[in-house]
Structure 1
Amino acid sequence: MPQQSPLDLPEGDPFGPHNLPYGVFSTVEDPGRRRIGVRFGDHVLDAAGAARALGSAHAELLDQPLLNPLLAAGRPVWTAVRAELRDWLTAPAHRAAVEPHLIPLSGVELHLPFEVADYVDFYASEHHATNVGRIFRPEGEALTPNWKHLPIGYHGRAGTVVVSGTPVIRPLGQRMPAGAQAPEFGPSRRLDIEAEVGFVVGTPSALGDRVPLEAFREHVFGVTLLNDWSARDIQSWEYRPLGPFLGKSFATSVSAWVTPLDALDAARTEPPARDFALLDYLDDSAVEPGGLDIRIEVAVNGHVVARPPFSAMYWTAAQQLAHMTVNGASLRTGDLFASGTVSGPEPEQRGCLLELTWSGRDPLELPEGKRTFLEDGDEVVLTAWAPGPDGSRVTLGEVAGRIAPAV
């Protein structure tokens, strides 16, 4: 029986020609050479190799160790390259030229696909913000007065963004135990996750310019799943008055794959109804729907503990980008901004352990024992999918991380 070609995908494969996420890989045979790859089924297409074989004008752009040159090339080039890739992978005339450049996933190592310029994390889920407010301010208002008027965010640390599969070392820091008179130093005892969606900026903007809502597609290249690890005990002691610092800066994990924004067109959806009139620069009533119907799944040690719905996010990525630049702050190629924890209205839709266990009050029951926060050796895996064209599914690359002991 002849071996099936990697170009012949099973019907409904979520990594078919409607998806085509980008990554960076190396092979066992040539571990020192990193190159751009495009996922197709359970294979990786060597994008530059295929481009050279087919005489593409984009061969040099694709023959790079990072996605940044492609990101910087801008939307017309992104569109053209995506059209070429779909043609190469689906047209019968190209099979003989393309097949030699498809490498099984099992034979490659995946790397951080782009150099992160700046990292910004938002706080865009009303359900998450409300739950956290109820946990920390049980006698007060759950939401702060500004929450429904602007997307709240903070600047993170680009240098600690790591690719899926990288071990997460338990951070050290100051903690203030309940009832203590002075802080103590040591490993975090309340290590948590945050299930998020990240957005990768391609086209930069000049210092002093603002990026309006309708220019979102011109600047954002694609989407990646993201886990913004959090040391809740370190964070709760340090965050007043300036906000997250060491409790968040030790690690942020992203998928090895960046899904092009255009692959998610069928997942566009209206965001939740707003309770207050928005200022003009955030008013998205006259632009394309900014929500995305991405369904996330969170697993701890192989056991699903939550299914957060991204469609429930109050603030959209376009609003976050508009707010991030409204003061004239410039964008750089490789900027990464994240949604903040994705949570829905139901208990099983909460995107972090702080919410799922209600700050440790209600431990999770796992086969290996109860969990309030993460223990050394625990592995967290985020997966997600979104509706694609004609009833298909677009699967996002997973994000995995295992907790290593403090050093």
Structure 2
Amino acid sequence: MVHVVRLVLGDRAPGRAGGHRTAGGGVSTAETRPTWVARAAGSPYDVDNLPYGVFSRRGEQTGVGVRIGDQVLDLAPLAGLDVRPVVAATSLNPLMAAGRDAWDAVRAWVTGLLTDESERARVEPHLLPLGDVDLHMPFAVADYVDFYASLDHASNVGAIFRPDQAPLLPNWRHLPVGYHGRSGTVVPSGTPVVRPCGQRKTPADEAPVFGPSARLDIEAELGFVVGAASAQGDHVPVRGFADHVFGVVGLNDWSARDIQAWEYVPLGPFLGKSFATSISHWVTPLQALDAAWTDLPGQDPAPLPYLAVDGPAGLDIAIEVELNGQVVARPPYSSMYWGPAQMLAHLTVNGASLRTGDLFASGTVSGPERDQRGSFLEMSWGWKEPFAVGDQERTALEDGDEVVLRYTAPGTGGGRIALGEVAGRIEPARPQ
């Protein structure tokens, strides 16, 4: 029988959970028994995945669930008094705040429920078909930071906008460049994206004009969700990444490039970015990515000591960009220059504190090939080279267009797991 996991939800020293610690900081599940859940074994949502989400059945209160195959396991009815506070909540924040030992313990408990045949009769009534539930925003976002960590993306953008200069600015290879975004407009997958309005000015214009963005774009990214907080003044080192990061989400940082181009000098992105950032409904726990860690492509010059990593610090995650049902790009996250632990270390090196629900994103993921570019700005090379979408062509997004980002990674069971997809449809600008 699977015993109820005993959780201490107060302060606990990280890293004391049993099991073998992997490069990603989780507990290896390589020897986990097969699941008894129908059609889940061998699927992208097998027991080596088990992403968390927040769901409701029609008209009922929301709760925390775990996806297994094409079903959602409602955790609250199965939880003991010690576990129930973190799974009967209306968001993942209580579980995320409980810390790394609790994350490992809850994952082990859920894995046991779904693999121990003796638990089947008790658990099966609480498995709900995906089609019978509504999915909601999985966590309350505290702060949002977006990085610029892809060498290929930064080089492409530099070459497009500064063709007569070096593509990279002098600081880029020395630190993960980023900006502070707007947490209040981070929305769950499926939320419509209204075309933003703002000031635009092309080089040929004598003065700026106001109106809807004419160069609306996507940015295919990966988001990292902070669970355990840190104290203001403290620095989270690269080795502390797994103690603080709960999991990952798919992320699309929608961008109004014409608004951005006029406004960003000298302080950086503002209205061109802050209107919408979409994330997946499912948060893939960091432990599910144990088999996905890989070496970074190489960093030259060597980073300063606080950014130095030892061992695999990148992630082998494949991304698929679909526009109106047609796959138009496949950016590889394994090509990223800066790793997520380096981003977190840089984010906090000045003493900035972490809060439960902080979200930091990788920036656009792009690889060296044209079909690996993660933004339409790059795919069209500055709006000059339309790319094919079935029998149509595009440079920027048009009203009615729908974008879906999909993600897969190696799983600890030997197959591939699926991260939550991110979808959004463009709606026309609203009258001012």
TM-score category, normalised to shorter length: over 0.9
Unaligned runs of 5+ in 1: none
Q: Write the distance in 1 (CA, Å) between the matches of 2:413 and 2:251.
A: 27
2:386 is the alignment partner of 1:363: yes
The residue that corresponds to 1:235 in the other structure is: 260
* Identity across matched positions, percent: 63
Whether contact under 8 Å (1:291, 1:316) holds in the other structure is yes
2:305 is aligned with 1:280: yes
- Alpha carbons 2:86, 2:92 under 8 Å: kept: no
Q: Does 1:47 align with 2:94?
A: no
CA contact (8 A) 2:40 2:68 kept: no
* Matched residue, 2:23: none
2:6 aligned partner? none
Query: Structure 1 runs of 4+ off > 4 angstroms?
Result: none
1:305 maps to 2:328: yes
Measure the CA separation in 2 of the matches of 1:9 and 1:94: 18
Select between 313-322 and 386-395 the one with higher mean Cα deviation: 386-395
Q: Which residue of 2 aligns with 1:16?
A: 46
Cross-structure match for 1:380 = 403
Amino acid corresponding to residue 218 of structure 2 in structure 1: I
Q: Does 1:317 align with 2:345?
A: no
Q: 2:216, 2:254 within 8 Å by CA — same for their partners in 1?
A: yes
Residues 1:339 and 2:362 aligned together:
yes
Q: Amino acid of the residue matched to residue 248 of structure 1?
A: K
Q: Distance in 1 between matches of 2:151 and 2:75?
A: 40
Any conservation in 1 of the 2:238–2:306 contact (CA below 8 Å)? yes
Q: Name 2:25's counterpart in structure 1.
A: none
Q: How big is each residue's C-alpha offset from its partner over 1:281-318, in whole Å with a ceiling of 9 and x where there is no partner? A: 0011x3x4110000000000010000000000000000
> Which amino acid is 1:13 matched to?
S
8 A contact 1:9–1:16 mirrored in 2: no
Pairs aligned (count): 396
2:124 corresponds to:
99
Q: Which has the higher helix share?
A: 1
The 10-residue stretch of structure 1 (156-165 or 57-66) with the greater mean CA deviation from structure 2: 57-66
Identify the match of residue 107 of structure 2 among 82, 102, 120. Answer: 82
Q: Which amino acid aligns with 1:169?
A: V
Secondary structure of the residue aligned to 2:72 is: strand
Q: How does 1:187-226 map to 2 (within 5 A)?
A: 187-226=212-251
Does the Cα contact within 8 Å between 1:166 and 1:402 map onto a contact in 2?
Answer: yes
Contact 1:6–1:99 (Cα < 8 Å) also in 2: no
1:247 pairs with 2:275: no
Shift of the alpha carbon at 1:366? 1.9
- CA shift digits 1:193-233 (9 cap, x unpaired): 00000000000000000000100000000000000000000
- Structure 1 residues 37-82: Cα deviation after superposition (integer angstroms, max 9, x where no partner): 110100001111222xxx4631222110000000000000000000
CA separation of 1:29/1:250 partners in 2, compared to 1, >3 Å: closer, same or farther?
A: closer
Measure the CA separation in 1 of the matches of 2:390 and 2:81. 53
Q: Is the 8 A contact 2:85 2:94 kept in 1?
A: no
CA contact (8 A) 2:36 2:114 kept: no
SS at match of 1:391: coil
Counterpart of 1:117, as a letter, is: A
Of 49, 62, 66, the match for 1:38? 66
Where 2:272 maps in the other structure, the secondary structure is helix
CA-to-aligned-CA distance 1:384-405 (integer Å, 9 cap, x gap): 1001124211100100000000
Q: What residue identity is the alignment partner of 2:376?
A: L
TM-score (norm 1): 0.96
Deviations 1:95-120 (A, max 9, x none): 01100111100011111100000000
Question: 1:139-165: per-residue Cα shift (whole Å, max 9, x none)?
Answer: 000000000000000000000000000
Post-superposition offset of 1:256: 0.1
Task: Give, as a single letter, the amino acid of the residue that structure 2 aligns with 1:133.
Answer: G
- Cα RMSD after superposing both structures: 1.2
Counterpart amino acid of residue 334 in structure 2 = S
Please, which runs of 5 or more residues in structure 2 have no aligned partner?
Answer: 1-34
Give the match's secondary structure for 1:115.
coil
Q: 2-side partners of 1:404 and 1:185: how far apart?
A: 18
Question: Residue in 2 aligned with 1:397?
Answer: 420
Which residue, 116, 126, 131 being the options, matches 2:141? 116
How high is the TM-score relative to the length of structure 2? Answer: 0.90
